[in-house]
Amino acid sequence: MPLNKQLVMHIKVTVITIGDEILIGQTIDTNSSWIGRQFTAMGVRVNEIITCGDNAAQIKDALDRAKARSQIILITGGLGPTKDDVTKNTLVEYFNTELVLNEEVWERMKQYFEKYGKPVLEMNRSQAMIPKDAIMLPNMRGTAQGTWFERDGAVFVSMPGVPHEMKHLMETQVLPRLKKRFSFPKIVQAVLMTSGAGESYIANKLSTFEEQLPSHIKLAYLPELGVLKLRLTANGEGEEIITEVGKQKEELKRILTHYVYAEGEEKLEVHIGKLLLEEKATLSCAESCTGGYISHLLTSVAGSSAYFEGSVISYSYDIKQKLLGVNPNTLNSVGAVSKECVEEMLHGLLQATGTTYGIAVSGIAGPSGATPDKPVGTVWIAVGTKNKILAKSFHFFPTRMENIQVFSNAALNMLRLFIAEGN
């Protein structure tokens, strides 16, 4: 442990996000959520998030509040020429310092502009000006650098608001430096990803487990649409506690059987990708009510072209017949939201695409389209291969966008179980 490492009993973190665009509702702040997850994984909780405008007085007011309540203050946004570098200039005033040209940054910028054959402007030179007594945190993804100030035992870090630039700086600079600078609590965490059962069902199944859980280990339920994350957190460090958490995790897996699909953070679409890669198998989808969302989830994973071949979005009866060969009698007798229809969709899909596995979904996302026996939220899902098809129906939430998301995850989960059972 370095000598200067600061021991704080309860490290407190404030995140300040700066941006008029957030206050007027033009942009949704996703940065503070991402930062929150990083600290949770380190056993520290963000204490407060303050969002203020691109305005020196407001920023100073937020800094005063953060300083009085926390040792780590992370500031995102308010940098760059269109913002007049308001955060940088305010920090210079707030800490009573001045800007000096940073040769390293200036050289990097000149090389960058040279490479792209663009002239270097005066504006760019001002981007290379860094507060005198701050540590410059190099941003290799953009022209606004990070800065690290220390005052009265607290650390103030300013980062650009562009999410991928902020994440790059956090991962390469800020988190490693914070870990050197502060003694973070010793914690051991274990995460299990589950799908296929709701929070209350799982909580009920785990009531005995929770009763026996020692008080220094906590279980958290973290639900998303169609996925439930479980997190065990224990205070302490060393082999003994790691073994203890490991045992509790194994017990959870034993109780929850097939609901658990992964250890550690992992989206269902990423997990499916791994299963398919392992088997050198391929996948295609026939989507009706989900309208392309399952395909979008699958293709949001970089490298998914190795296993995902494509889909047919069969929104109309016509496309169900023309591209998937669904029998018009099926549509007229039992309707598109039926076991028969999704089975025929899947059969037709696998014939057309030739992939190893297929998913077919047809349901009522709402708000219209319901019938007395098929309310909004009804969905039929089929998964399978050319040799075996499994179809099930589900009932979910009452709003359109939630239904599209939860239907999609239910379909991915059905495919996971189908593959896991060796079909």
Q: Is residue 50 within the footprint of a copy of itself (CB under 8 A)? A: yes
Question: How far apart are the C-alpha atoms of 33 and 13, rounded to whole Å?
Answer: 13
Name the packing angle between helices 317-324 and 339-353 (round to 10°).
40
Question: Rounded to whole angstroms, how far apart are CA atoms 423 and 401?
Answer: 31
**Binding mask 193-222 vs a copy of itself (x if CB under 8 A, - otherwise)?**
-----------------------------x
CA-CA distances (angstroms) from residue 141 to 109, 136, 155, 164, 186?
Answer: 11, 14, 23, 8, 33
Which residue among 90, 194, 284, 413 contacts a copy of itself (CB under 8 A)?
284
Q: In the complex, what is the shortest distance from the CB of residue 243 to a copy of itself, in angstroms, rounded to a whole number?
A: 26
Identify which of residues 91 and 312 has a Cβ nearer to a copy of itself in the complex.
Answer: 312
Minimum distance of a copy of itself from residue 91's CB (angstroms): 19
Q: To 5 degrees, how large is the angle CA 245–CA 419–CA 315?
A: 115
> Of 143, 187, 157, whose CA–CA distance to 87 is shortest?
157
Examine residue 32 and tell whether it contacts a copy of itself (CB under 8 A). Answer: yes
Cβ neighbourhood burial of 22 (10 Å; 0-12, 13-18, 19+): buried
Parallel/antiparallel/unpaired status of strands 217-224 and 227-235 = antiparallel
Residue 371 within binding range of a copy of itself, rule CB under 8 A: no
AA identity, residue 227: V
Of residues 50 and 129, the one with the C-beta less far from a copy of itself = 50
The whole-angstrom distance between residue 138's C-alpha and the CA centroid of its chain comes to: 25
Residue ranges in 66-105 that form contacts with a copy of itself under rule CB under 8 A: 69
The whole-angstrom separation of Cα 20 and Cα 7 is 36
Task: Return the residues of window 310-329 that contact a copy of itself according to CB under 8 A.
Answer: 310-316, 318-319, 322-323
Q: Which is nearer to a copy of itself, 122 or 239 (CB)?
A: 122
Which segment (17-25, 85-93, 206-214, 247-255) binds a copy of itself by CB under 8 A? 17-25
Nearer to a copy of itself, 51 or 423 (CB): 51
Which segment (170-178, 301-309, 386-394, 415-423) binds a copy of itself by CB under 8 A? Answer: 301-309
Site string for a copy of itself, 152-191 (x = CB under 8 A): ------------x---------------------------
Write the Ramachandran bin of 153: left for phi over 0, alpha for psi from -120 to 50, otherwise beta: left
Instruction: Write the binding mask 237 to 276 for a copy of itself: x where contact by CB under 8 A, - elsewhere.
Output: ----------------------------------------
Contact 392, 343 (CB under 8 A): no
Q: Cβ 112 to a copy of itself, closest distance in Å? A: 14
Nearest approach, Cβ of 85 to a copy of itself (angstroms)?
18
